[in-house]
């Protein structure tokens, strides 16, 4: 759920700066554990569309007894997983045909693209 756990960043070691004086402690959010039924429905919706916005997201959240933010973040994380799987499949197909993808294939020099390609393992 949305419960908060113990304070984080309240290490007594180190100097007490003005950012810590009297400020409430930061609470770390506990990871949401989805029920199997919720995950099944979220996956079904993801297969239909990778982006869910507006009233569709609100309705799905209400149906699954989740917050809109939980649904939004689940879709964000699922898209990341989907992209990673797609890249791994593409890399596997290329290696199957003996095609080696050059590290500098992206001429734009996009940092995000470089990070994504580094992640792929044979």
What's the pLDDT score for residue 7? 60
Fold held by 36-94: Arc Repressor Mutant, subunit A (1.10.10)
Per residue in 92-113, pLDDT (tens digit) is 888 888 776 555 444 444 444 4
**pLDDT tens track for 51-86:** 998 999 999 999 999 999 999 999 999 999 999 999
Which is more confidently placed, 25 or 39? 39
Q: What is the pLDDT of residue 97?
A: 82
Look at residue 120 in the predicted model and tell me its pLDDT: 38
R_g over Cα of the chain: 21
CA dist 2 and 66 (Å) reads 10
Q: What is the DSSP letter of 90?
A: H
Q: Which distant-in-sequence residues (6+ apart) come within 8 Å of 4 by Cβ?
A: 27, 28, 29, 30
Q: Report the C-alpha dihedral over residues 76, 7, 1, 36, rounded to 10 degrees.
A: 70
Q: Per-domain residue ranges for the chain?
A: 36-94
């Amino acid at each position: 759920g949305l419960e908060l756990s113990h304070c984080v960043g309240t290490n007594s070691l180190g100097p007490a700066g003005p950012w810590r004086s009297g400020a409430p402690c930061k609470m770390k959010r506990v990871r949401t554990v989805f029920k199997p039924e919720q995950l099944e429905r979220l996956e079904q919706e993801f297969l239909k569309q990778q982006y869910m916005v507006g009233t569709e997201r609100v309705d799905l959240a209400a149906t699954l007894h989740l917050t809109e933010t939980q649904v939004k973040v689940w879709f964000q994380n699922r898209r990341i997983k989907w992209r990673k799987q797609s890249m791994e499949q593409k890399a596997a197909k290329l290696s199957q045909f003996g095609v080696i993808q050059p590290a500098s294939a992206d001429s734009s020099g996009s940092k995000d693209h470089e990070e994504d390609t580094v992640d792929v393992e044979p």
